[in-house]
Amino acid sequence: MALTINEKHGVFLVEGVLNSITANMFQDQCETLLNTKGELTIHIENLKEVDDYGIHVIQSLFQNAKQQSNHFMVIGNISKNLYSRLTNFSATAIAA
């Protein structure tokens, strides 16, 4: 399944599968948006699957945005497992 990213009112809706096949394209598009706009909000509720590569990309985007003083936000109702993985990372990254 493909990954699509569409903008709606300044929020980028991410749908499909974020995995080893789609992660690099997703990261490239998000980094371009972060570098040009200085902020990025992604809505990931409609992702059907996120593997370790997808988690790593979201973590990298968060770290890069923080280092460059850009704003990066992830929103949407997501699975408990994905929420746990993202919040555990975010808490660790903020504490560092």
Q: Residue 8 and residue 55: Cα distance in Å, rounded?
A: 23
The pLDDT confidence band at residue 80, using thresholds 50, 70 and 90, is: confident
Cα-to-chain-centroid distance, residue 37: 16
| 65-79 residue pLDDT tens | 989 999 999 998 877
Q: Is the pTM of this model over 0.75?
A: yes
**Residue 93 pLDDT > 90:** no
- Consecutive H or E run containing 90: helix 80-95
Residue 90 is predicted with a pLDDT of 52
Chain segment 17-29, per-residue pLDDT in tens: 999 999 999 999 9
pLDDT over 90 (residue 13): yes
Location of structure tokens 């699509």:
4
**In terms of DSSP bridges, do strands 11-18 and 47-50 run parallel, antiparallel, or are they unpaired?**
parallel
pLDDT of residue 89: 59
End-to-end Cα spacing for the chain: 36
